[in-house]
A and B are shown apart, each in its own frame.
Chain A
Amino acid sequence: DADVTQTPRNRITKTGKRIMLECSQTKGHDRMYWYRQDPGLGLRLIYYSFDVKDINKGEISDGYSVSRQAQAKFSLSLESAIPNQTALYFCATSVAGREFTGELFFGEGSRLTVL
Chain B
Amino acid sequence: SQQGEEDPQALSIQEGENATMNCSYKTSINNLQWYRQNSGRGLVHLILIRSNEREKHSGRLRVTLDTSKKSSSLLITASRAADTASYFCATGLRGSYKLIFGSGTRLLVRP
Q: Is A51 close to B, CB under 8 A? A: no
Residue contact B42 to A107, C-beta cutoff 8 Å: yes
What's the least CB distance linking A63 to chain B, in Å?
19
Give the A interface residue count (CB, 8 A): 28
What's the least CB distance linking A25 to chain B, in Å?
12
Interface string of B92-104 (1 = CB under 8 A from A): 1101111111111
Q: In the complex, A107→B43 CA distance in Å?
A: 8
Q: In the complex, A35→B101 CA distance in Å?
A: 10
Which chain A residues lie closer than 8 Å to B42 at the CB level? Answer: 4, 90, 106-109
Q: Which residues of B contact A (CB under 8 A)?
A: 2, 4, 30-31, 33, 35, 40-45, 48, 88, 90, 92-93, 95-104
Q: Which residues of A contact B (CB under 8 A)?
A: 4, 35, 40-45, 48, 50, 56, 58-59, 88, 90, 92, 99-109, 111
